[in-house]
Amino acid sequence: MQIHQFPCLGDNYGFLLHDPDTGQTATIDTPDAKVINAELDRLGWTLSQILNTHHHPDHAGGNVALKQRWGCRIVGPAADRDRIPGIDVAVAEGDLVAVGNIQLEVFDTPGHTRGHIVYKVVNEPVAFVGDTVFAMGCGRLFEGTPEQMWPSLQKILAWPGDTRLYCAHEYTLANAQFALTVDPDNAALRQRYLDVQAARQRDQPTVPTTLAIERKTNPFLRPDDPKIRATIGKPDATDVEAFAEIRRRKDRF
């Protein structure tokens, strides 16, 4: 299995997933058809599938142009089939998608949008999480509620710690700055902020991240932490109430 990652648009990442045994290639989302085509041409890969996480234009905006060139199959969330341009196959929780010999499992993760899905490679520590979780962040709740988003994040939290999370945006530095406001005494977070700052100064990507690192430093995955709860003034709240307060604060940050 080969994964090729490249910047797209302002702060998106494109991902190509390639199975060398069969020559099958999928793009995870279609932020920019021109850039994706250029990367495919450079690598000599032919596009067989588009796997969409959600309907936003920076994720599905290149669907039609890529399908026109390649005749590729478009897989997307069943709950959003009306909003995914060119969709051929609608998938939902528990469905399996094959890219050659690579199998991916679909998880419904509503919250950022009502139909958002993520793809976890079966038997490999690799997941494409779209705009559900970011390094030290999570997707804005455009269409969903905290009561929907928190269970979505819990599905991701249940994966093994070495799972590499391929997030769709380079938001890490701003996320770290916010995270420090709700979790200022977290030594792992403070160190990560310095590391991320240095990486971005060298123009290096901070994606993918791993679930183990996120469990230690991502406040949106830590609403049960007593120190964070004390800082946000929610010592006795439920996890979802504490999560909602962290998200509200980020929206205003």
Q: Which residues bind Fe ion (CB under 5 A)?
A: 58, 131
**55/120 with CB nearer Fe ion:** 55
How far apart CA 173 and CA 176 sit, in angstroms, is: 5
The least distance separating Fe ion from the CB of residue 53, rounded to whole angstroms, comes to 9
Closest CA to 154 of 222, 210, 77, 80: 222
Note if 59 is an active site residue: yes
Note if 131 is an active site residue: yes
| 131 near Zn ion, rule: CB under 5 A | yes
Out of 18, 55, 56, 250, which residue is the one contacting Zn ion (CB under 5 A)?
A: 56
The least distance separating Fe ion from the CB of residue 56, rounded to whole angstroms, comes to 5
**79/232 with CB nearer Zn ion:** 79
How many Cα atoms sit within 13 Å of 171 on the Cβ side? 21
**14/100 with CB nearer Fe ion:** 14
Please pick, among 18, 55, 59, 116, the residue that the annotation labels catalytic.
59
Interface of this chain with Zn ion, residues 162 to 221, rule: CB under 5 A: none
Note if 4 is an active site residue: no
Task: Supply the angle between the helices 172-182 and 239-252 in degrees, to the nearest 10.
Answer: 120
The least distance separating Zn ion from the CB of residue 78, rounded to whole angstroms, comes to 18
Note if 169 is an active site residue: yes
| 80 near Zn ion, rule: CB under 5 A | no
Please pick, among 18, 32, 54, 55, the residue that the annotation labels catalytic.
54
Please pick, among 29, 32, 58, 80, the residue that the annotation labels catalytic.
58
Closest CA to 84 of 92, 70, 74: 74
How far apart CA 156 and CA 141 sit, in angstroms, is: 17
The least distance separating Fe ion from the CB of residue 250, rounded to whole angstroms, comes to 15
Note if 116 is an active site residue: no
Please pick, among 29, 112, 116, 183, the residue that the annotation labels catalytic.
112
Residues that bind Zn ion (CB under 5 A): 56, 131
Supply the residues annotated as catalytic.
54, 56, 58-59, 112, 131, 169
